[in-house]
Each structure stands twice: as C-alpha cells, then as structure tokens.
C-alpha cells in the first residue's frame, strides 16, 4: 500500500473565523525571538536601570539623608532617555528580520494564501515588536512607579503628579510605534535582515548627525525636527510637562513623527503583497 493511503484524511474539527491570524503571527514571532539567548540578554539588560532605580527609590524612602535621591517627574523622563539605547537594540535585533526574512524565503505569498489580510499580517509583525518594546519602556516605567509607591508607602507622589501615568503610557507608545513602524517599513524594503538593521541605524544616526552639523553652523537648535531622535526628545519633554530642550517648535516634531509613521505605513502597503509587480 502506498504510504499516502495510510495517513491523509479529511478534517472535521473546528476552525477559527478569519480575523485572529495576527495573534498567531505575533505569538509565533515572540516565541521565536525568546528562543534566542541574545534576545533574553538584551531584555535583561534593559531592566537593569529599573533595578538600579528601585534601589535608589528604596534608599531615598528609608534613609532621610538620601532625600536628594527622591524621585521626581524628571526621574521618569531620564528613565526613558536612558532606555532609548535598549529600544534601539531591541528594534534592530527583533525587528529587522520580521519582514525581510519572509521576503527572502518567499513566505509572504504563503501567509497571504491563508485566510488573513495584509493588515493582519503587518499587525501580527507589529505585535511582536510592540510586545518587546513595551517590555523595555512602558512595563519597567510603570513598575518603577509601583515600586515608588511601595517603598514610600504613600500615594502622595502619584497624587501630586497624576499626569505621570498617562504621560508614561503616551510617551512609551510614541517611542514604540515610531520605532516599530520604521523598522518594519525598512525590513519590507529588503530581503536581508542585516541590511534593514543597518539602514535603520543609518537613518537614526545620520538624521541626528545632520541636525548636529546644522546646529554647529547655525548655532541654533531650530532644525531639531530633522533628527529622528531629537523629535522624540522634544515630544517627551512636552508630554512630561518639562521645558523643551530644542528651539524648534514641538508641533514640528509631532508632525515629523506622524509623517514617519504615515510614510512607513504607506511603504508597508506597497511592499507587503502576494505578488510583486515590477513595472
């Protein structure tokens, strides 16, 4: 008897209605990334600041002589500034291959031949990045706020800075969405994860270099909106109700962030297709 007569049978079980495939993609991507040791180390490294600041919070709450270390709004703002480097590494490490690898191995047409839309595919990939990026931004920042309440045994700091919770959430989302959309768009432009990662690093570093050169010539920071990173810093200051660090209007930075996300969405719409048409 041929081997194929022994095994194949029709399927009579349940099927999920279309619409949940993005969760399958996200779950698979998260599992795949977590199975790599380097990813775990990067994530662990990203939480080191949380642990250091937790110790500082403990000392300031329990030893009056260390009152100078007591947390402020500035503390949380600085927390995000330092986390930026981990956002960068996680974005490049997790995100650069998310679509590029599928392009290299012609997997996109396999995905899209299943009952899922292009939006679901991109949402699934975004889900992977959002999971890890929130894990190095929003989650440790909220945990830090919780730790502050626990160590001080008082809600007075939170009550005095009620805007802090939405500010942390909003700024984390700005950082995460900007990074996630940008790297996915760059990943969709190439068949090489390495190339997409280099391209992302190039965009971030080059835009900042251009801004700094212009600043050197003009002795003004009015063109800070040219820099990928400066835009986030400027918006971060506004969200945390701190004086802005650059002379350029904050709404220019907000506009640039919207433009980059919009442009990335447009690139994804053009590049994630079952058929690549060369005209």
Partner 1 sequence: MNAPDETTQPVASVEQVSVRYGTQLALHDVAADFATGAVGLLGPNGAGKSTLLKVLLGFVTPTSGRMHVLGLDVAERPLEIRARLGYMPESDGHIPDMNAVSFVAYCGQLAGLPESDAMQRAHEVLYYVGLGEARYRNIETYSTGMKQRIKLAQALVHDPDLLLLDEPTNGMDPKGREEMLELVIDLATRKGVNLILSSHLLPDVEATCARVVVMHQGTVATQGSIAELKERRRQVFEIRIKGAHDKFVQALQGIGADCHDAEDDLLRVFVNDDQGPRDLFAVATAHDIQVRHLRPSVPTLEDVFAEAVGEE
Cβ-count burial of 145 within 10 angstroms (0-12 exposed, 13-18 middle, 19+ buried)? Answer: buried
Residue 194 lies near partner 1 (rule: CB under 8 A): no
Site for partner 1 in 195-234 (CB under 8 A): none
Q: What DSSP state is assigned to residue 96?
A: T
Q: Which stretch binds partner 1 (CB under 8 A): 24-32, 149-157, 249-257, 264-272?
A: 24-32
Residue 37 lies near partner 1 (rule: CB under 8 A): no
State the CB neighbour count (10 A cutoff) for residue 31.
10
Cβ-count burial of 185 within 10 angstroms (0-12 exposed, 13-18 middle, 19+ buried)? Answer: buried
Q: What is the largest CA-CA distance in the chain?
A: 85
Residue 1 lies near partner 1 (rule: CB under 8 A): no
- Least CB distance from residue 10 to partner 1, whole Å? 5
Taking CB under 8 A as the criterion, the residue among 112, 173, 189, 238 binding partner 1 is: 112
Residue 9 lies near partner 1 (rule: CB under 8 A): yes
Which residue is it, tokens 């003004």? 220
Q: Report the half-sphere exposure of 52 (CA within 13 A, side-chain side).
A: 10
In whole angstroms, give the CA distance from residue 88 to residue 99. Answer: 18
Residue 165 lies near partner 1 (rule: CB under 8 A): no
Instruction: Provide the b/e sequence for 215-250 (b: ≥16 CB within 10 Å).
Output: beeeeebebbbbbbbbbbbbbbbbbbeeebebebeb
Q: Which is nearer to partner 1, 101 or 229 (CB)?
A: 101
In whole angstroms, give the CA distance from residue 191 to residue 278. Answer: 16
59, two tokens:
């000392």
In whole angstroms, give the CA distance from residue 9 to residue 91. Answer: 43
Residue 113 lies near partner 1 (rule: CB under 8 A): yes
- Least CB distance from residue 113 to partner 1, whole Å? 4
Taking CB under 8 A as the criterion, the residue among 48, 62, 109, 154 binding partner 1 is: 109
- Least CB distance from residue 32 to partner 1, whole Å? 7
Taking CB under 8 A as the criterion, the residue among 1, 2, 37, 216 binding partner 1 is: 2
Residue 131 lies near partner 1 (rule: CB under 8 A): no
Residue 119 lies near partner 1 (rule: CB under 8 A): no
Q: Which stretch binds partner 1 (CB under 8 A): 49-57, 67-75, 112-120, 209-217?
A: 112-120
In the complex, the residues that contact partner 1 under the rule CB under 8 A are 2-11, 13-18, 20-21, 24-25, 28, 32, 97, 101-102, 104-107, 109-117, 273-275, 277, 279
């Amino acid at each position: 008897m041929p081997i194929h007569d022994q095994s194949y049978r029709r399927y009579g079980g349940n099927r999920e209605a279309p619409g949940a495939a993005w969760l399958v993609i996200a779950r698979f991507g998260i599992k795949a990334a977590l199975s790599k040791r380097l990813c775990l180390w990067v994530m662990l490294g990203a939480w080191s600041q949380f642990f250091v600041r937790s110790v500082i919070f403990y000392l300031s709450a329990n030893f009056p002589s260390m009152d100078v270390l007591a947390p402020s709004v500035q503390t949380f703002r600085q927390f995000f500034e330092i986390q930026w480097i981990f956002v960068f590494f996680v974005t490049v490490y997790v995100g650069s291959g998310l679509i590029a690898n599928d392009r290299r191995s012609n997997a996109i047409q396999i995905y899209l031949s299943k009952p899922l839309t292009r939006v679901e595919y991109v949402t699934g990939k975004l889900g992977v990045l959002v999971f890890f990026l929130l894990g190095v931004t929003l989650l440790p920042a909220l945990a830090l706020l919780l730790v502050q309440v626990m160590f001080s045994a008082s809600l007075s700091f939170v009550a005095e800075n009620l805007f802090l919770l939405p500010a942390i959430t909003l700024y984390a989302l700005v950082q995460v969405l900007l990074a996630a959309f940008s790297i996915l768009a760059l990943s969709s432009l190439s068949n090489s994860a390495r190339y997409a990662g280099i391209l992302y690093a190039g965009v971030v570093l080059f835009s900042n270099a251009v801004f700094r050169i212009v600043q050197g010539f003009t002795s003004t920071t009015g063109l800070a909106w040219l820099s990928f990173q400066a835009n986030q810093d400027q918006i971060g200051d506004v969200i945390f109700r701190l004086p802005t660090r650059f002379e350029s209007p904050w709404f220019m930075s907000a506009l640039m962030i919207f433009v980059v996300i919009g442009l990335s969405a447009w690139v994804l719409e053009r590049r994630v297709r079952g058929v690549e048409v060369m005209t």
